[in-house]
Amino acid sequence: MPASPKAMDLILTHRSELISYARRIVGNHSTAEDVVQEAYLKYWAHAGSGAGTPEPITEPVGYLYRIVRNLAFDWQRRPARTLTSNVSSDILSSYPAPDASPEADAMWRQELAAVQSVIDSLPERTRIAFEMHRLGGMTLQDVADHLEISVTRAHQLIKQALMKCALHLEKLERNEHETAVSESASEKKRGSRV
């Protein structure tokens, strides 16, 4: 069903404000766009044709905001979703495929456990800031508001957590490399004696 010009104008006029409103509730821009898109569909289904609606909408802007609000809260209540929509394919390709070798799977699990141990060892505020921002998709402003700190301080806490995770992974990788080199050297020694 095509939207009426009046409905289309209303939606286009308020699109960016509605996305900002939804983003404050759901925590990230792409999810907010999805919520607003779904809200458009609901609005059009109810008011788009202008004919045959059960009751006229007296406050169309308020009605749109209410739809966005309800959908945003519904979105948050949905079961955990995969976070692949905001992740580049380069990052995803570094994770083992479902049919990955047992060695690759073990290495990935070891790295994941290492990062989890670092996160668990962080000071509470740093851990909360990191989890809210990097795992929960919250904005720096949301993190700062929740922890009652400045946005700059929230950024510093998240950066500290990321640096600790990166350093720990680097150390783990260096240890794996040294182990592989020493195993290779000992195999060469055994091969030369034969």
Fold of 5-77: Rna Polymerase Sigma Factor; Chain: A (1.10.1740)
Tokens linked to 71 = 């959908």
Q: Determine the pLDDT at residue 190.
A: 64
CATH class as words, domain 100-183: mainly alpha
65 Cα distance to chain centroid: 24
* Helices of type H across the chain: 5-26, 29-43, 60-77, 89-93, 102-121, 124-130, 140-147, 151-193
Task: Report CA-CA distances (Å) from 34 to 6, 49, 85.
Answer: 22, 22, 11
Q: Determine the pLDDT at residue 83.
A: 42
Helix and strand totals (H; E) in the chain: 8, 0
Domain residue ranges in the chain: 5-77, 100-183
**Chain segment 128-151, per-residue pLDDT in tens:** 998 888 888 888 998 999 999 999
Q: Determine the pLDDT at residue 28.
A: 84
Q: Determine the pLDDT at residue 168.
A: 87
pLDDT bin (cut points 50, 70, 90) of residue 84 is very low
| Whether residue 98 has pLDDT greater than 80 | no
**Chain segment 161-191, per-residue pLDDT in tens:** 989 988 888 888 787 767 766 666 666 666 6
Same fold, 5-77 and 100-183: no
DSSP state of 2: P
pLDDT bin (cut points 50, 70, 90) of residue 1 is very low
* Closest alpha carbon to 33 in 75, 82, 5, 66: 75
Quick count: other Cβ atoms within 10 Å of Cβ 181?
10
Distance CA 23, CA 36 (A): 10
